[in-house]
Structure 1
Amino acid sequence: MSQAASSPTDPSVQAVVRADALRTAVATARSLVSECRVRLDSDGLLVAATDPATVASVRVTLDAAGFEHYDASDTTVGIDLDRLADVLALGDPDDLVSLTIEDSRGLLHVEHADLHYTLGLIDPDAIRAPPDPAKLDFDHAGRLTLDAAFLSRVVDASEMVSDHVTLELGAEGLRAVADGDTDTAVVEHDADPETTGEATAIYSLSYLADIVAVLPSTSVAVALGDDLPVELDYDFRDDHGHAEFVLSPRLRRT
């Protein structure tokens, strides 16, 4: 039997999860980084990372209850997300995927359907440290909840005229404005019962587009403050998974 197909010895993590849940977690983190630290403990899986330019950060959690089977000690490993995404793409979304981590050997075994793939892990100390959660706690003026499809329309319309978009939160709801040399695109969303406060900030469309591209078809909570990072967070995997993006604003033009 080959080494790739041999039985793992002394695994620190043994877990089974639906492929679509793991794909969502990987795609979410991969929208900003190609490799990251992954922590697995008794609570579940955690990915927290900042893009190389430190403009945006992402935090993804998948509760232990979101797995079909989960047994993990407190383990932190480095994973190449591009390679893992390629492996997961070989199966069907409703496949059950088995994950076994041999931390001592630096190996991640991935099994689904008739495939057994072994990935070499990355030394987590060689990967940029995740952001300090305390530094991502902002005093936002307010928030509202909207469909991910609305954010897709904001990106699509704004990219037709500019490389940035202004988000304005007020009593009437959210207004996205993109000004070009000759054209202007405006997309509006009515207020909801949670909408409070007023705020205005400008954001890079290239980053916002990368984030919006991986949002599942679900409700997204958007929090805004004057010239503060925008926060987008949502649940997935029957509320056992949670993702949060924080995107820094651009300086206002004077």
Structure 2
Amino acid sequence: MSTLAYDGTAMLGRQLRRMRNNPGLLILTQTMPVSMLLFFGYVFGSALAVPGAEYRSFLVPGLLVATAAGGVMTGMFQSAQDVHRGVTDRFRTLPVSRAAVPAGQAVADVLVTAAGTVPFLLVGLAVGWRVEGGAAAAAGALALLLLFRFACVWIGVFLGLLTRNEEAAGQLGGATFLLPLLSSAYIPTEGLPGWLRTVAEWNPISAVATALRELFGNASVPEGAAWPVAHPVAGSLAWCAVLLAVFVPLAVRRYAHGGR
């Protein structure tokens, strides 16, 4: 086994134990999407018209992607916490691959997200959402969702190493809740003003949300959309590739210098 794989597996185990010892955070991150589904689906659902689909069927894929984008916040907070408490400096004194610690954090986060997706989907089925695109397409949608979460965690790891402070990371992470609001996660983009629709459709969240709706068979691609939304699966893969190509090297380099 290569050094990176061996060290990464050890760091993965450390990160999973860390999450297990912080049940409050796990409960919050798992229950928040369900609460938002019930709130948006029943409070706002009757006030919003989504052509060709029930709002809750439109909302479930969008909330899945909005939750995946929350990887920026969790990655940022956990990496900033390690730097602030001196854990990063201690790891750097060990003969451990420089990529192992952030990689272990990212993989652990994806595993926890995958587990947390199951109860959310069950609640979605209970409120009327259905998979209408076939089992293979649905599996592809979930794989794409986890890939996007993986990319978002790497963004968060880099930003956490950059801030180096738990409080600052928490405040900055809270701002990430705005990202889904500037996308098609909660509402269609067709009715937005021209310039705002362009901004929303070039938001990676819009591409992934549209890809999930298409793969689940819940909605069609909107007409006249920007390229990432007009070709949602290809656009989502392209966004994930760009984000990983940019932030994985930045995060590893930042970690190698102790977050300095």
TMscore range, shorter length: under 0.3
Q: TM-score, normalised by structure 2?
A: 0.23
| TM-score normalised over the length of structure 1 | 0.23
**Higher helix residue share:** 2
